[in-house]
Amino acid sequence: MIPIRYNVRSLAVRKATTAATAFGVALVVFVLGSALMLSAGVKKTLAASGKDDVAIVLRKGSQGELGSTIEDATISTVLAQPGVKQDGGKALGSAETVVVLALEKVGVKGLTNVQVRGVTEDSLKLRPTLTIVRGRPARPGSDEVIIGERIAGRFKGVDLDQSFDLKKNRPVKVVGIFTDHGSSYESEVWADRDTLRAAFGREGSVSSVRVRLESASKLEGFQTAVEQDKRLGLSVTRETKYYEDQSEGLAIFISVMGSLIAIFFSVGAMIGAMITMYAAVANRQREIGTLRALGFSRSSILLSFLMESSLLAIIGGIIGTAASMCMGFVSFSMINFASWSELVFTFDPTPKILVVALVFSVGMGLIGGFFPALRASRVSPIAAMRG
């Protein structure tokens, strides 16, 4: 077996070509890692919004809150079903209205959708992890709103002590900014439910009803009681499952697009690695001949050049992976296909993604270096020595 230090020395001698090829591999790994981290970030953001012991009730056949309508008269029936946790003799639940509002982004021409949630005091009780970090809570029944931290300052008028219109000539004032452990709620505007319904002509109905269950195991009983009542025409989903479904489309889209781009880039990187290794074989004919004369077999030559191309790819992979990890400090916004509103999330550099990115780089090195290594192993020692 040829010592690895021989390959390391060879890469060090060819600094320019080594650097160029490693950069190409690093770029591919960066793109792939960033896309996978972005997909993981979407799932993490929406997963943080759901709780196992919370059930969400929608109109049967609705894919999300935006397309669901539940009459006010039905709310009390839902809250009275078995399995709902009581708080001081009152069912712990919240009926909310969800709409999408087109707002102008700061520094960018054009409008984008922002989700606005009409809430009551019960909505805050249902989400004890939600914390006002700046300002104060909105007063019930007023034209005041609170906003998620991730959208603060991203849209005109959507920041503390600023105002924007829910509808034409219906301004609301931002009095508080909240966080909720990075959940999708941080990309929403929360307004008084009755104020929101009056502005959009949605009086008498809500989009969804959330209830906190006595325990996560009580979902089946609650679900059966609600869905078997044909008069209601409602469906029940565990909140974690609901947000998992909401994230699926966007996460798959990002993963597929990022992977396709990475694959196209990887073809160029592998061609670059192949050219580099072919050049190395051509310039090292005497070395290869000497190695064969010293008794090293063809398989040893093959493995040595494969090792060299793999080391080259690993160097690029480490650089690309390190660069992609820096994306963890970046926030990104996209339209969520499920809600058709802008969702702000961060890249999530999980250990699994980092391993996948490094393995992908090694694969590029092996594929790009195989044919040059095969050529090197077939060099005739006599011809090489004469040359």
Note the pLDDT tens digit of each residue in 306-364: 888 888 889 999 999 999 888 888 877 777 777 777 878 788 888 898 898 888 888 88
Q: What angle do CA 258, 34, 266 make, to 5 degrees?
A: 55
pLDDT score of 209 more than 80: yes
Per-residue CA distances from 235 to 97, 228, 242 (Å): 17, 9, 11
More confident residue, 163 or 383: 163
Residue 14 phi, psi (nearest 5): -95, 65
Percent of the chain exceeding pLDDT 70 equals 98
Determine the pLDDT at residue 111.
85
| Residue 377 CB burial class (10 angstroms; 0-12, 13-18, ≥19) | buried
pLDDT score of 387 more than 60: no
Q: Whole-angstrom distance between the N-terminal and C-terminal Cα of the chain?
A: 25
Please tell me which of 119-123, 296-300, 323-327 the model is most confident about, judged by mean pLDDT: 119-123
The mean pLDDT of 298-313, rounded to a whole number, is 86
For CA atoms 15, 19, 21, 25, give the dihedral sign: positive
More confident residue, 291 or 210: 210
Please tell me which of 205-209, 279-283, 316-320 the model is most confident about, judged by mean pLDDT: 205-209
- Contact assessment for residue 152 and residue 177, using Cβ atoms and an 8 Å cutoff: yes
* Token pair in block for residue 254: 């990002």
With cut-offs at 50, 70 and 90, classify the pLDDT of residue 164. very high
More confident residue, 47 or 145: 145
C-alpha to C-alpha distance for 101 and 230, rounded to whole angstroms = 33
> Which residue, among 347, 31, 278, has the nearest Cα to 23 in the 3D structure?
31
pLDDT score of 269 more than 80: no
The mean pLDDT of 239-250, rounded to a whole number, is 86
* Token pair in block for residue 93: 């639940």
- Contact assessment for residue 308 and residue 7, using Cβ atoms and an 8 Å cutoff: yes
C-alpha to C-alpha distance for 266 and 29, rounded to whole angstroms = 8
Listed range (19-28, 65-74, 117-126) with the worst mean pLDDT: 19-28
Span 176-196, pLDDT tens digits: 999 998 899 999 999 999 999
Say what the pTM is: 0.79
The mean pLDDT of 159-183, rounded to a whole number, is 93
The mean pLDDT of 296-302, rounded to a whole number, is 84
With cut-offs at 50, 70 and 90, classify the pLDDT of residue 366. confident
With cut-offs at 50, 70 and 90, classify the pLDDT of residue 385. low
With cut-offs at 50, 70 and 90, classify the pLDDT of residue 384. low
